[in-house]
Copies of this chain bind each other. A is one copy, B any other.
Amino acid sequence: MSEIKDQSIALFLDALASKAATPGGGSAAAVMGAQSAALTGMVCNLTIGKPKYAEVENEMRSLLAKSEALRAKLTDMIKADVDVFNKLMACYGLPKDSEEEKTTRSARIQAVLKEATDVPLECAKACAEAIELSRIAADKGNLGVISDAGVAVMAGYAALKSAALNVYINAGSMKDREFADAKITELEKILNGADIASEEIYQLVKAKL
């Protein structure tokens, strides 16, 4: 099967709605995050080269480079979520007849759970960055397409909150509480204030319409 990003939107939505375990919310979060970065990029692309915005040209070029790198990262995360989920499911499928098998299976599950916590945590970090990039687009981008910066912030916010749920789930199943708690702390530092920041950026856009 081809990678999700190479499938059509309609097929992706079909797969999302189906009873297949993947793609699920983790991939949907990465798609929204990538949409956020793409829309910030769009604002940059429609600001760069316009004489009226010559003053912010360099800043827009730098913002575009950042948003495009972030878009690539978030696009890769669509697949990363599916991969780590499948890896986890494979561990749950390991034999557990003997004591030895049980021990091996449990150790494998616990190891992959760490990975399955890191993947959405990385996604959450990238989404928080997407939100901050949308702020620059909202603040200094071409007024003719400023609403796209507003969509960028909302997409980034939804993606962040969505990725967070997968961090909570996987950290919650972990036996290594020290590792899990450190990841939750890291996540909550990212989440802290994201709602206020997103609404601020949204209102900044709305005031310019």
- A positions within 8 Å CB-CB of B: 4-10, 12-14, 16-19, 21, 24-25, 28-29, 31-32, 34-35, 37-39, 41-42, 45-46, 67-68, 71, 75, 78, 145, 147-148, 150-152, 154-155, 157-159, 161-162, 165-166, 168-169, 172, 202, 205-206, 209
List 20 interface pairs A-B (beta carbons < 8 Å), by A numbering.
Answer: A4-B9, A8-B9, A9-B75, A10-B75, A13-B34, A16-B38, A16-B41, A17-B42, A19-B42, A19-B45, A25-B150, A25-B152, A28-B35, A28-B38, A32-B158, A151-B165, A154-B157, A154-B162, A158-B158, A161-B202
In Å, the complex CA distance between A25 and B146 comes to: 10
Q: Is the CB of A46 within 8 A of B25?
A: no
Chain B residues contacting A4 (CB-CB under 8 Å) are 9
Chain B residues contacting A34 (CB-CB under 8 Å) are 9, 13
Excluding A5-B8, A5-B10, A32-B35, 12 further A-B contacts by CB distance (< 8 Å) are A9-B34, A10-B75, A17-B37, A24-B39, A24-B151, A25-B39, A25-B150, A25-B152, A28-B151, A147-B166, A151-B158, A155-B158
Chain B residues contacting A159 (CB-CB under 8 Å) are 154
Q: Give the dominant DSSP class at A's interface.
A: helix
